[in-house]
C-alpha cells in the first residue's frame, strides 16, 4: 500500500507541475499583458514602465518561478482591476462555491445511486424506464433555463424560497437543486450499469437462493462491488462543480469563485484568473488522488504487488 501511495503522489506532483506550467504559459501567451495594462493610448515608455512594474520585462521562465515562489508563500499577487490581494478575493468567495458543490454532489448521490440500484433490480420495468428518462432530461435541460424556471415558480409565484444571495442555508436550496440535478443522471446511469454486472454474478445468485432480503442483496452485497467507478466519478464531479458552477452562480447571484473567474476573464484580470485555474486544477488532482486511495482500500486487486 505504501508503494501505491508513493506512486500516486509522484504522479499527482508531476501533473500539478504540468498544470501550473501550462496555465501560466497560456495566459502569458494570450497577448501583450504590458500593453493591455498600460492602455490603448500608452506610449512605448509607458508600456516599458508597466512591464517593469509587474515584472513582465523578465523572461517567461523567470516570471514563472517568481509566481511559483509567491504561490508557495501564499502570495497570489494582486488584482489588476481592484488592486486587492488575490488570496483575499478567493478566500472571501471560495466557501460559497464549496458549499454549493458539496450540497449539489450530495443531492446527486442521494437521488442517483438509489434510483440506479432500483432500475438495475428491475431492468426494462416502469421504474427503469423512468430512471433512464429522468437521466436523459436531467442532462439535456440547460442549467440556466432550469434555474430560471425554479426562480419563477418557487421564488416569484409561490414566494417560498429566496432567489439570490448566500446569507443563509435557505438561499442555497434552489442553486443546489439546479446544479445537483444536472449531474445526477451520470450517477444514475453508472450505478445502473455497475449493478447490472454485479447482479449477474454467481455470489448474487447464491444470495438469492438463500432467501436473503432484497434490500440486503442490493445494498450489502451488490452495491459495494459496483461502487468503485462511482467513487472516481464523484471525485471528478466535485472538481467540476468547484470550477464549473459559473452559470448557476450567475443566475442566483452567488459570489463564488466561478463567477469571480468569469468576471476576471472579462476584465482581463490575469492574476485572478491564473490563481483560480491553478486552485481548481489542484482540487481535481487532490480529489483524484483521494479517490484512488479509497478504491485501493475497497478493492485490493488494484494495488501493486
Give the tens place of pLDDT for each residue, 174-219: 899 888 888 888 888 888 888 888 777 777 777 777 777 777 777 7
Paired strand residues for 155: none
The owner of cell 508531476 is 14
Q: Quick one: pLDDT at residue 127?
A: 81
Q: How many structural domains are present in the chain?
A: 1
Cα–Cα distance, 122 to 214 (Å, whole number): 12
C-alpha cell of 63?
Answer: 516570471
Within-domain flag for 300? no
Within-domain flag for 125? yes
Within-domain flag for 30? no
What percent of the residues of the chain are helix, what percent strand, and what percent coil, each to the nearest 5? 80, 0, 20
Cβ(53)–Cβ(18) below 8 Å: no
Paired strand residues for 85: 78
Within-domain flag for 6? no
C-alpha cell of 248?
Answer: 448557476
Within-domain flag for 112? yes
Cβ(138)–Cβ(185) below 8 Å: yes
User: Residue 93: which CATH number?
Assistant: 1.10.3720.10
The owner of cell 485501493 is 296
Q: Quick one: pLDDT at residue 106?
A: 92
Cα–Cα distance, 115 to 159 (Å, whole number): 30
Tell me which residue range forms the domain holding 165. 86-269
Cα–Cα distance, 143 to 149 (Å, whole number): 10
CA max distance for the chain: 85
Within-domain flag for 252? yes
CA distances from 105 to 180, 214, 287 (A): 6, 27, 13
Within-domain flag for 131? yes
- Which residues does the chain have with pLDDT short of 50? none
Query: What is the pTM (predicted TM-score) of this model?
Result: 0.79
Q: What DSSP character marks residue 220?
A: I
C-alpha cell of 143?
Answer: 442549467
Cα–Cα distance, 126 to 136 (Å, whole number): 15
Contacts of 45 (CB under 8 A, 6+ apart): none
Within-domain flag for 52? no
CA angle 34, 35, 38 (to 5 degrees): 85
Contacts of 222 (CB under 8 A, 6+ apart): 117, 195, 198, 199, 204
CA distances from 95 to 92, 109, 225, 250 (A): 7, 21, 34, 16
Q: Quick one: pLDDT at residue 35?
A: 66
Query: Within 122-245, where are the H helices?
Result: 126-140, 143-150, 173-199, 202-209, 214-216, 223-226, 228-243
- Of the candidates 255, 121, 107, the one whose C-alpha atom is nearest the C-alpha of residue 182 is 107
Cβ(265)–Cβ(253) below 8 Å: no
Amino acid at each position: 500500500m505504501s508503494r501505491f501511495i508513493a506512486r500516486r503522489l509522484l504522479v499527482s506532483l508531476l501533473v500539478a507541475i504540468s498544470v501550473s506550467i501550462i496555465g501560466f504559459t497560456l495566459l502569458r501567451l494570450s497577448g501583450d499583458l504590458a500593453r493591455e495594462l498600460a492602455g490603448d493610448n500608452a506610449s512605448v515608455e509607458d508600456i516599458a514602465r508597466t512591464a517593469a512594474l509587474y515584472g513582465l520585462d523578465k523572461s517567461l521562465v523567470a516570471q514563472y518561478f517568481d509566481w511559483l515562489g509567491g504561490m508557495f508563500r501564499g502570495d497570489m499577487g494582486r488584482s489588476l482591476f481592484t488592486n486587492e490581494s488575490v488570496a483575499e478575493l478567493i478566500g472571501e468567495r471560495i466557501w460559497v462555491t464549496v458549499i454549493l458543490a458539496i450540497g449539489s454532489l450530495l443531492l446527486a448521490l442521494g437521488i442517483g445511486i438509489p434510483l440506479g440500484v432500483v432500475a438495475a433490480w428491475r431492468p426494462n420495468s416502469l421504474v427503469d424506464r423512468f430512471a433512464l428518462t429522468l437521466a436523459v432530461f436531467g442532462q439535456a435541460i440547460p442549467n440556466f433555463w432550469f434555474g430560471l424556471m425554479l426562480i419563477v415558480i418557487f421564488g416569484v409565484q409561490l414566494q417560498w424560497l429566496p432567489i439570490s444571495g448566500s446569507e443563509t442555508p435557505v438561499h442555497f436550496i434552489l442553486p443546489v437543486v439546479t446544479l445537483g440535478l444536472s449531474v445526477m443522471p451520470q450517477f444514475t446511469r453508472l450505478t445502473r450499469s455497475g449493478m447490472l454486472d454485479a447482479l449477474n454474478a454467481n455470489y448474487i445468485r447464491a444470495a438469492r437462493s438463500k432467501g436473503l432480503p432484497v434490500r440486503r442483496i442490493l445494498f450489502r452485497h451488490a452495491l459495494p462491488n459496483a461502487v468503485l467507478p462511482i467513487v472516481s466519478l464523484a471525485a471528478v464531479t466535485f472538481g467540476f462543480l468547484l470550477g464549473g458552477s459559473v452559470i448557476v452562480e450567475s443566475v442566483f447571484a452567488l459570489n463564488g469563485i466561478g463567477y469571480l473567474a468569469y468576471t476576471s476573464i472579462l476584465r482581463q484580470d490575469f492574476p485572478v484568473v491564473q490563481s483560480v485555474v491553478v486552485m481548481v486544477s489542484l482540487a481535481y488532482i487532490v480529489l483524484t488522488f483521494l479517490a484512488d486511495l479509497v478504491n485501493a482500500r475497497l478493492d485490493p486487486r488494484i494495488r501493486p504487488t
